[in-house]
Chain A
Amino acid sequence: MFRKPALITFITAGDPNIKATLEFLLTLDKYSEVIELGIPFSDPMADGKAIQKANVRALKAGTKVKDVFNVVREFREHSETPIVLMTYYNPVYRRGVERFVAEAKESGVNAMIVVDLPLEEAGEYLNVCEKYEMGTVFLAAPNTPDDRLRMIDEASSAFVYLISLYGTTGARDKLSQLAFDLLNRAKRVCSKPLAVGFGVSKAEHVRELIKAGADGVVVGSAIVDIIGKYGEEAIDPLEEKLKELRSGLIL
């Protein structure tokens, strides 16, 4: 679904408000092959401090699920860059899986990641995504065995998201060896594009992972931190960070 090598950038929708989100998306668009947009959730249990705080800011600003769909629709008037919606399962379940996916598709979302929906629970979701031609992305972790990795690859129509470490999202200083071990295994086992995320925060990380064979690299917390610090005024520092990260794509 994307040009390789890909810089995949993440922000939380509605942080610090939904109007700023559109501007941030347009900024990310200049430097990203794919954009991941997070639906804010009250209980983001797979996220570290940076994205937790972004969720709090977005919900405080009154961000609703329909606002997220609307901002994607507006973005689509300007750009065709793929958008992957990242969400916890409850907002999907509560809306009704079919209604959620249909609305997301209609607004211009290309694929979805549901953080707390492992394969075992994903039957209905997978059927609905197939029906609406919504791309699917499942996560794999360093402790995911090969046979399971194969199933995850099969269920992921867009790409496979490899988690680089044991822990939550959040910028880290160094990449863990676990990331490279998993990437090497996944290259053997999987047929879909491979994106690596969690903890990736610098050009140097991007370069190491692309060199090691990743098709894409996901950067979230390092970007969200900038929004946390500068709020609506984040465009300039964001551009600076994005340029730096992009330089990592050049080997």
Chain B
Amino acid sequence: MKFGEFGGQFVPEVLIPPLKELEKAYERLKDDEEFKKELDYYLRNYAGRPTPLYFAKNLTEKLGGAKIYLKREDLLHSGAHKINNTIGQALLAKKMGKTRLIAETGAGQHGVATAIAGALLGLKVDVYMGAEDVERQKMNVFRMKLLGAEVIPVHSGSKTLKDAINEALRDWVATFEYTHYLIGSVVGPHPYPTMVRDFQSVIGRETKRQILELEGTLPDAIVACVGGGSNAIGIFHPFIEDRSVRLIGVEAAGKGLSTGKHSASLCAGEKGVLHGMLSYFLQDEDGQIATTHSIAAGLDYPGVGPEHAWLKESGRAEYVAVTDDQALKAFVELSKTEGILPALESAHALAYAMELAKEMNNDEIIVVNLSGRGDKDLGIVMEALSCSVSQPL
């Protein structure tokens, strides 16, 4: 139930029974053959699994170092890894007899993935989204509405992702009898960090099989971006016992760690308790949670999943941070060299991997989890490139 000292169930009393109900249902269903078959069916035929592990030959040759492989989660339906989790949880919710899903969303990716799962499985969906994010991400708001979901703007606090989670929790304490709270990352109270990790671990299991097929050996390093940490834990988890594989999580350094305008909770945060879990958070000396910044809305969260906190403390995984500008450059680089537009979140992982590759030998292998595609970010990238990157396109 805990990862070392991290994780736990730091929630108001009223949520203890619904969390126990969820834990019981999940424990019962996760090894149930019928459930696994159904999930596998949707992942294959609806979401588009397995995703390719693609050797980025052009990029590798250009950098002249380690071989870079891309795990193509960007090719999934909805454009990101989030759907691995939303289909899993929505199926679970349905088996539990819930008729409604609620979700929080920052950029709207998880909201869209939840709306899709709701449409697919016939569940009503309400998505909480910070009022500022609603303004910044109009297209995704429209997308969610088209998919039949309701988007509820959150005007409290900093009006961003963490406030959307607060509001979803407030909804859930009043509606848990018929509502499942579909959390979008490996955060929140137990059992969410474990359950979401299990649903996302399909990424790592496929990667392992694919790299062994392609190279006959395990990779030397796996690099993934870390917001809440679901795509990272998904690809890391099946490799945790393989000690030779470096696991590297990349956080958002925003405008630079020294500016305070970032969302690198593992690199620059302190231990704390929020949203049901003990983990690392960006906060002040009184425990007030900080406001965060990243050009990648999906990384813009002041905390991180408890299993990552534990992987950091135990030394099994390393965590680094990459700035907005570095991520933008990687975004452009991958677009030009490989014809792939990465999500700005994934571009953080890519930016670090590109630096790392140069320091490694060309018989070594790096796998980058390309967690999503960049189409959703075109507006932001267009605006950012016109003023902050000196290189013309």
Contact = CB atoms under 8 A, between A and B. Distances in A.
Interface of A: 41-46, 48-49, 52, 56, 59, 64-65, 89-95, 115-118, 120-121, 138-145, 148, 152, 163, 165-168
A141 B272 CA distance: 25
Given A45-B170, A121-B10, A91 B276 contact: no
B273 to A, nearest CB: 5
A64 B287 CA distance: 10
28 contacts: A42-B288, A43-B274, A46-B12, A46-B173, A52-B157, A56-B156, A64-B286, A93-B278, A94-B270, A94-B283, A94-B287, A95-B287, A115-B12, A116-B11, A118-B11, A118-B16, A120-B9, A139-B12, A139-B14, A144-B13, A163-B13, A163-B14, A166-B14, A166-B173, A166-B176, A166-B177, A167-B170, A168-B174
A90 B289 contact: yes
Nearest to A142: B14
B157 A56 contact: yes
B175 to A, nearest CB: 8
Interface in B254-290: 270-276, 278, 281, 283, 285-289
Nearest to B156: A52
A145 B13 CA distance: 11
Interface centre among A43, A56, A118, A148 (most CB of B within 10 A): A43
Nearest to A67: B286
B173 A41 contact: no
A90 B173 CA distance: 20
A90 B283 contact: yes
Given A138-B13, A144-B17, A91 B173 contact: no
Interface string B15-46: 01110000000000000000000000000000
Contact of A43 (B18, B166, B175): B166
Nearest to A140: B13
A91 B8 CA distance: 17
Contacts of B370: none
Contacts of B272: 90, 93-94
Interface centre among A64, A65, A115, A117 (most CB of B within 10 A): A117
A45 B273 contact: no
B162 interface: yes
B157 A42 contact: yes
A143 B274 contact: no
B344 interface: no
Shortest Cβ-Cβ A-B pairs, 10 listed: A94-B287, A141-B14, A90-B287, A167-B174, A91-B287, A45-B166, A42-B288, A42-B289, A139-B13, A46-B12
B169 interface: yes
Contacts of B285: 94
A139 B11 CA distance: 11
A89 B281 CA distance: 13
Contacts of B16: 118, 120, 144, 148
Interface of B: 8-14, 16-18, 156-157, 162-163, 165-166, 169-170, 173-177, 270-276, 278, 281, 283, 285-289
A43 B157 contact: yes
Nearest to B8: A121
A118 B13 contact: yes
A111 B273 CA distance: 21
A112 to B, nearest CB: 15
A48 B170 contact: yes
A8 B9 CA distance: 28
A45 B276 CA distance: 10
Contact of B17 (A89, A115, A145): A145
A44 B16 CA distance: 18
B168 to A, nearest CB: 9
Interface centre among A49, A94, A138 (most CB of B within 10 A): A94
Nearest to B289: A42
Given A43-B274, A94-B272, 13 more contacts: A42-B157, A52-B157, A90-B273, A91-B287, A120-B16, A121-B10, A139-B13, A139-B14, A140-B13, A143-B14, A143-B18, A167-B174, A168-B174
Nearest to A64: B286
Nearest to B19: A118
Contact of B273 (A93, A144, A145): A93
Contacts of A52: 156-157
Contact of A141 (B9, B13, B273): B13
A117 B10 contact: yes
Contacts of A117: 10
A91 B281 CA distance: 12
Contacts of B278: 93
Contacts of B169: 45
A186 B16 CA distance: 18
Contacts of A59: 288
Contacts of B173: 46, 166-168
A117 B276 CA distance: 9
Contacts of A118: 9-13, 16
Nearest to B169: A45
A42 B278 CA distance: 16
A168 B274 CA distance: 17
A141 to B, nearest CB: 4
B67 to A, nearest CB: 44
A89 B169 CA distance: 16
B14 A90 contact: no
Contacts of B157: 42-43, 52, 56
B276 to A, nearest CB: 7
